[in-house]
Amino acid sequence: MQVYFVASSRLVAKDMGLYRKMWDVIAEDNKMVSKKVWRWLKMGVKDLRHADIKVKRENYKQAVKDIKKAELVVMEVSGHSMSAGYLICQALDMNKPVVALYKGEHKPIFIGGIVNPRLFLVAYNEKNVEEVLKKVFKKVASLIDVRFNFFVNPKILTYLDWVAGKRKIPKSVFLRNLIEKEMKKDKEFGKRF
């Protein structure tokens, strides 16, 4: 599975051992899409607060690009971070499963209000982080999308482009929603699952 893992640079700087353990568990059976946390663990955290606008824009573009490439997004959200909240919403809008980890005593307030079956808000502590990660990865595995390509005529493609623009959703999400609606109505299929 391709995983995008990120955490607040401030938190990584405070507890490198914990984040190294998280990285090792996640990278054990998965391909890491971004190496940002790994670079922080190896070379130290770079503070972007004082970086110029070009660096900040590149950081933003790279994060969104990495999320698009990932099949799963894993974020540590124990600290207050508008960036984390924004990236979680971006990932969910792209229909990516998101594992939002937090230390038991630091349950996020705003993120906790998001209702989405692809968001897993998961508590951990330093002793059980490996076990928690492995357990949640098993749950999430069934939500990973599988690519399916098919051909449509130009009129259908024009409609899909139009509806995607009008509703501000990807064509694949529109089609997935139509199929899920039909699945709910199909009683014969429902008996099987």
* Rounded Cα gap, residues 47 and 8, in angstroms: 11
Strand boundaries in the chain, DSSP class E: 2-7, 31-32, 72-76, 98-103, 119-124
* Confidence at residue 176, expressed as pLDDT on a 0 to 100 scale: 86
The residue behind tokens 């990516």 is: 96
Alpha helices in 141-186 (DSSP H): 154-167, 171-185
For the stretch 36-91, pLDDT in tens is 777 777 766 666 677 788 988 988 899 999 999 999 999 999 987 888 889 999 99
The answer to the question of residue 148 being in a domain is no
Are 61 and 42 in a shared domain?
yes
The answer to the question of residue 61 being in a domain is yes
State the DSSP code for 143. G
Are 32 and 114 in a shared domain?
yes
* Rounded Cα gap, residues 16 and 45, in angstroms: 10
The residue behind tokens 């357990």 is: 135
Are 69 and 131 in a shared domain?
yes
For the stretch 6-16, pLDDT in tens is 888 888 888 88
The answer to the question of residue 149 being in a domain is no
Q: Is the pTM of this model over 0.75?
A: no
CATH code, domain carrying 55: 3.40.50.450
Q: Is residue 99 within 8 Å of residue 123, measured between CB atoms?
A: no
CA angle 51, 53, 54 (to 5 degrees): 100
Instruction: For residue 184, give both structure tokens.
Output: 């709910």
Q: How many domains does the chain have?
A: 2
Are 114 and 57 in a shared domain?
yes
Instruction: For residue 149, give both structure tokens.
Output: 């390509």
Q: How confident is the model at residue 160 (pLDDT cuts 50, 70, 90)?
A: very high
* Rounded Cα gap, residues 129 and 60, in angstroms: 28
Are 160 and 136 in a shared domain?
no
Instruction: Domain of residue 42: give its range.
Output: 2-143
